[in-house]
Amino acid sequence: MWNKPTKEQLASIPELYRTEETPLKDKPIYLHFFIGNCDWYVSEFDGKDVFWGFAILNNDFQMSEWGYFSFHDLDEIQVKGIFEIENDLFWQVRPAHQVERICRAQGWPLPEHQDILEIECPNCKKITRSGLGEEISCPECKVIILQRSISYQGGFRHGLYS
């Protein structure tokens, strides 16, 4: 991972079980890691390696779940030996019910501001908009564009692609 969370970010995350009394919908999400159609949302941290939060793998909302995952493991994962998991640098801490993909997975009402991507086709430079987690292909040249950056809470960002 080239953009690991800072010590300060990690220190701000509650320890394991500290948000036990907090309903799932209100769990604050402190960090978001992602690659392609996989997301890990962090709510608690043991201070060393273990995160607790919500994971969505390969857009499989049915199988997505709250649970533990290892920072070390995330750090090690590579896709095709090239793409690493990224820490979402634009993430803003907010409760789970304000995170669109968690809401989709949990069957909760979607937040008012949904995560929208604006991505430039690497081929023809045409701009395409899409919802987060949807596979995007360029309407012009039909190339599938890998999502690598997200936006939320209104504003648009240009997505990066590889």
Bridge partners of residue 47, in order along the sequence:
none
Stretch that binds Zn ion, among 31-39, 109-117, 118-126, 150-158 (CB under 5 A): 118-126
Pick between residue 78 and residue 123 the one whose CB is nearest to Zn ion. 123
Least Å distance, CB 89 to Zn ion, is 26
Give the residue from 30, 23, 22 showing the smallest Cα distance to 51: 30
Instruction: Give me the 139-158 binding string for Zn ion, x by CB under 5 A, dash otherwise.
Output: -xx-----------------
Please tell me the distance from the alpha carbon of residue 37 to that of residue 98, in angstroms, as a whole number. 19
Side-chain-facing half-sphere of 34: CA atoms under 13 Å: 20
| Residue of 92, 123, 153, 162 that binds Zn ion (CB under 5 A) | 123
How many degrees, rounded to 5, is the angle at CA 91 between CA 118 and CA 19?
140
Give how many residues touch Zn ion by CB under 5 A.
7
Pick between residue 105 and residue 136 the one whose CB is nearest to Zn ion. 136
Side-chain-facing half-sphere of 148: CA atoms under 13 Å: 14
Binding site for Zn ion (CB under 5 A): 121, 123-124, 126, 138, 140-141
